[in-house]
Structure 1
């Protein structure tokens, strides 16, 4: 069978929230994909992208965060949503979780924890803080608790930009 869909390709809206503080960003090991990824997930029904990214980060990391870089416009009405720093389209293959290939249209945000002493979940060993020096190496290979993989180029570039954006706000 071919991975080419016979009907129009289904698209899901998703969000990603790079969580950065102190020159590090949070990544988790995704066992199905065998790679390091930031927190994120699907935008749910009746949810806007801001609500989705804050919820996904909280659900996955336990961290309450705020968006970094909300946008330049000063008007008050109508209310504005933070502008994503990037949008990406990911092709998702058919696999055990999906009957058909589809796409994720991903709205990507940079965030920082509200607490300066932010800690990742102690009961989930898939999470790790990855430092800027590791991400600057090419290839950016990261190993934690026996899980070793090159950090994908998009994740590496966005994580470095998130660290810089948080630093530029005056936060550590």
Structure 2
């Protein structure tokens, strides 16, 4: 198993949303990375992660969403229980930095000085209640998003400009929305 914690990298918190309708996932093609991803971005100071995921999703796609809770909620008089992410991962912002660290070479820092992202991905649903792709009105944020689209599992599996993790996350996302948690 990969151990990215052993590097003293600057870590930034990010949050994103996975929207699945009609067994298709909505992905954006990130302008700078030139990769297909779930919409998301940096968590702002004092912002809750699920709120950041909802905000970033809307900013990048024009679609208002709500983070779904896939876990059990507890009724409490002392704590507020928040939606749980379906994924929580640590990754290099630039893959080249990982290889540079292995060779004790300098790394490239991102726009916020980030080297690694600690990313939380939430399963989201449209605030409008839309159940069909044809009912969705997409308005991509053109300075960050080169393209936007709905993709089936087979399409995601065969993409070349996507990280393999996205396919694996989509598989699990489909299982969660279809009630198969195994």
TM-score by length of 2: 0.72
- Of Structure 1 and Structure 2, the greater helix share is in 2
Assess, with a 3 A threshold, how the Cα gap between structure 1 residues 40 and 131 changes in structure 2: closer, same or farther: same
**1:21-170, aligned counterparts within 5 Å?**
21-77=21-77, 78-93=79-94, 94-95=107-108, 97-98=110-111, 102-115=115-128, 116=130, 117-121=135-139, 126-135=147-156, 140-142=157-159, 149-168=160-179
Could you state the TM-score of these two structures normalised by the residue count of structure 1? 0.76
Unpaired stretches in structure 1, ≥5 consecutive residues: 1-6, 143-148
- Quick one: distance in 2 between partners of 1:37 and 1:158? 11
Is the 8 Å Cα contact of residues 111 and 162 (structure 1) preserved in structure 2? no
Cα pair distance change 1:97/1:39, threshold 3 Å:
same
User: What is the total number of aligned residue pairs between the two structures?
Assistant: 153
Root-mean-square deviation (CA), in Å?
2.6
Distance 1:123 1:29 in 2: 11
Q: Which runs of 4+ in 1 moved over 6 A?
A: none
- Structure 1 residues 52, 122: CA separation in 2 closer, same or farther (over 3 Å shift)? closer
* 5+ long unaligned stretches in structure 2: 1-6, 95-106
